[in-house]
Structure 1
């Protein structure tokens, strides 16, 4: 049965792969994007998740187009990497505001419809950095670690309503960001990964789609690493 799916930050990289995976399975997929031109084939809504009014308007447009959101994938996020002594208050707060508080906004709004339906699937995209840590990424790591506590609290709060909350924690993924690294940087990164390669965006997407499927109906509050073994034990 076709479901109403929303992927935030679904215009490129991991988010786009996730959106395509749901669309290929026959779901109606909406994406949000903040800048640039959205990819074709999806119902795309421009939305900055740091703005509560834009989030509300985006949901209204999506609900008018394809009904209440039944599956939410909170993927939108930013980085502002900097060593602690050089990191400004704005560097820190901007990342927290987008990655953590922005996720709170889109999840809270989606749950309005999920509570009425007494069912729903929410998947948050975190990062291996949120559990493992990374020098120069204290802001990003804090925001991504926060998603774990957020999801697990809501799993306890709303499990009785048949709404599941799970977290996918990718490692290094073959996207525009990693493709911009030089050969030495790539070599150093891959030396830390037991499987010795980057993940493909489709591998992250497959895990997300599984968590939103009936096969995962008894999984909630889980953190699923898709990181080639980089963060094992954390």
Structure 2
């Protein structure tokens, strides 16, 4: 039986790695993006070797209408992996209202609305899964990333509560909390700052996007059939 997963933020580093990992396992994919159409076209080209169905969907999930634009293009669905996100860096007292509202929409309102709208499709299946890509900062908090830490913590609270509502329907709801990952999200940091981060991680290096993708693959697999309401920390021992 064919299975379909929706990947939001598929044009990012973790999104791309996740798409490739799930394609190897035979998943058909809805690959969501906002602006980076070139990266989605490159991803589609790279996915051809797996002979799966790949459906690109453009939507701005940082706006109130973005969820409806996305949801109306979803038909059969077995899994949602919500990976969209950005992480503004700076002092909280310098954060303007527009940034706060955008972050709440992108990281909290949109995933909740998307899950609410698409859960009826997921419940048609014998089992289905939702994975939210949270963050280590949603667990422990970070100075100069106060809004990001707040919205990622909200995602974890949602996972822990919604998972209880749908557990008897075999809808598994989990989160992944990566530490520092070698993606474009760290582009704003200097080499010395990256080195300082690496030195604070017990494993002494950043995570690879493929390592986060492997965690997604596990949570969507039959091996995770009794795991729900959990936060899987993939952080190299950082802040444990």
TM-score, length basis structure 2: 0.90
- The CA RMSD over aligned residues, in Å, is 1.6
Counterpart of 1:49 in structure 2 is 61
Which of 75, 87, 108 is residue 95 of structure 2 equivalent to? 87
Corresponding position: 1:213 with 2:225: no
Counterpart of 1:32 in structure 2 is 32
Q: Assess if the C-alpha contact under 8 Å between 1:127 and 1:144 holds in 2.
A: yes
TM-score, length basis structure 1: 0.92
Q: Assess if the C-alpha contact under 8 Å between 1:5 and 1:71 holds in 2.
A: yes
| Mapping 1:53-92, distance limit 5 Å | 53-63=65-75, 68-92=76-100
Which of 165, 170, 195 is residue 162 of structure 1 equivalent to? 170
Q: Assess if the C-alpha contact under 8 Å between 1:166 and 1:223 holds in 2.
A: yes
Q: How many residues align?
A: 228
CA distance, structure 2, for counterparts of residue 152 and residue 23 of structure 1? 28
Residue 51 of structure 1: how far off its partner (Å)? 4.2
Counterpart of 2:104 in structure 1 is 96
Residues 182 and 212 (structure 1 numbering): CA distance in 2 closer, same or farther, change over 3 Å?
same
CA distance, structure 1, for counterparts of residue 118 and residue 24 of structure 2? 22
CA distance, structure 1, for counterparts of residue 65 and residue 104 of structure 2? 18
CA distance, structure 2, for counterparts of residue 166 and residue 182 of structure 1? 33
Q: Assess if the C-alpha contact under 8 Å between 1:50 and 1:101 holds in 2.
A: no
Counterpart of 1:196 in structure 2 is 204
Residue 11 of structure 1: how far off its partner (Å)? 1.0
The 4+ residue runs of structure 1 with deviation greater than 4 A are none
Counterpart of 2:49 in structure 1 is none
| Mapping 1:95-174, distance limit 5 Å | 95-174=103-182
Residue 15 of structure 1: how far off its partner (Å)? 1.1
Q: Assess if the C-alpha contact under 8 Å between 1:130 and 1:144 holds in 2.
A: yes
Residue 12 of structure 1: how far off its partner (Å)? 1.9
Instruction: Pick which of 135-144 and 118-127 moved more.
Output: 118-127
Structure 2: runs of 5 or more not aligned: 45-53
Counterpart of 2:20 in structure 1 is 20
Per-residue displacement from partner, 1:164-221 (whole Å, max 9, x unpaired)?
0011000111112335532210121112100000000000000111001001000001
Structure 1: runs of 5 or more not aligned: none
Counterpart of 2:51 in structure 1 is none
Residue 61 of structure 1: how far off its partner (Å)? 2.4
Residue 115 of structure 1: how far off its partner (Å)? 2.1
